[in-house]
Amino acid sequence: MFDLVLKGGTVVNTGSMGVADVAIAGGKIAALGQALRGREERDVSGKLVFPGGIETHCHIAQESATGAMTADDYRTGSISAAFGGNTTFVPFAAQHRGQAIPEVLETYDARAAPNAVIDYSYHLIVTDPTEAALSRDLPAAFARGITSFKVFLTYDKMIVSDQQFLDILVMARAHGGLTMVHAENNAMIAWMTRRLVERGYTAPRHHAASHPAAAEVEAVRRGIALASFVEAPLLFVHISTDAGARAIATARMAGHAILGETCPQYLFLTADDLNRPGAEGAKYICSPPLRDDATQTDLWRHLHAGTLELYSSDHAPYRFDAGGKLSAGPNPPFHRTANGMPGIELRLPLLFSEGVRTGRISLERFVALSAANAARIFGMADRKGAIAPGYDADIAVWDPEKRVTVTAAGLHDAMDYTPFEGRVLTGWPVTVINRGRVVVDDGALKGQPGDGVFVARNPFDARGFLPTRAAELSPERNFGAELL
Binding site for ligand DUC (CB under 6 A): 182, 237-238, 287, 314, 316, 339-340
> For residue 70, which phi and psi values (nearest 5 degrees)?
-65, 150
Instruction: Answer with the entry of Zn ion, ligand DUC, none that 339 interacts with (C-beta below 5 to 8 A by kind).
Output: ligand DUC
Beta strand 119-120 with 53-58 is: unpaired
Q: C-alpha angle 207/213/216, rounded to 5°?
A: 105
Residues near Zn ion (CB under 5 A), total? 2
What minimum distance in Å lies between the beta carbon of 389 and ligand DUC?
A: 36
Burial of 472 (0-12, 13-18, 19+ CB in 10 A): exposed
- d(CA 194, CA 17) in angstroms, rounded, equals 53
Instruction: Answer with the entry of Zn ion, ligand DUC, none that 256 interacts with (C-beta below 5 to 8 A by kind).
Output: none
What minimum distance in Å lies between the beta carbon of 59 and ligand DUC?
A: 6
Beta bridge partners of 259: 235
Question: Minimal CA–CA distance to 394: which of 123, 121, 90, 85?
Answer: 85
**Cβ neighbours for 392, distance < 8 A, ≥ 6 positions apart:** 27, 28, 29, 87, 119, 383, 384, 434, 435
Q: Quick check: helix, strand or coil at residue 32?
A: strand
Which CB sits closer to ligand DUC, 36 or 338?
338
Q: Using CB under 5 A as the criterion, what x/- string covers residues 20-59 for binding Zn ion? A: ----------------------------------------
Number of residue whose CB is nearest Zn ion: 182
Which CB sits closer to ligand DUC, 62 or 468?
62
What minimum distance in Å lies between the beta carbon of 150 and ligand DUC?
A: 7
Which CB sits closer to ligand DUC, 121 or 287?
287
Which CB sits closer to ligand DUC, 152 or 352?
152
Which CB sits closer to ligand DUC, 37 or 157?
157
SS (H, E, C) 335-362: HHCCCCECCCCCHHHHHHHHHHCCCCCC
Which CB sits closer to ligand DUC, 4 or 213?
213
H or E, element range at 295: helix 293-305
Instruction: Answer with the entry of ligand DUC, Zn ion, none that 260 interacts with (C-beta below 5 to 8 A by kind).
Output: none
- d(CA 308, CA 245) in angstroms, rounded, equals 7
What minimum distance in Å lies between the beta carbon of 314 and ligand DUC?
A: 5
Which CB sits closer to Zn ion, 182 or 325?
182
What minimum distance in Å lies between the beta carbon of 57 and ligand DUC?
A: 7
Interaction residues for Zn ion, span 291-330 (CB under 5 A) = 314
Which CB sits closer to Zn ion, 57 or 376?
57
Q: Name the one range near Zn ion by CB under 5 A: 33-41, 177-185, 207-215, 347-355.
A: 177-185
**Cβ neighbours for 291, distance < 8 A, ≥ 6 positions apart:** 208, 213, 240, 241, 266, 270, 271
What minimum distance in Å lies between the beta carbon of 287 and ligand DUC?
A: 4
C-alpha dihedral, 241 to 247 to 248 to 253, nearest 10°: 140
Taking only Cα atoms into account, the Rg of the chain, rounded to an integer number of angstroms, comes to 22
Task: Answer whether 338's CB lies under 8 Å from 208's CB.
Answer: no
**Under rule CB under 5 A, residue 182 binds Zn ion:** yes
Instruction: Answer with the entry of ligand DUC, Zn ion, none that 111 interacts with (C-beta below 5 to 8 A by kind).
Output: none
Query: Which residues here bind Zn ion, judged by CB under 5 A?
Result: 182, 314
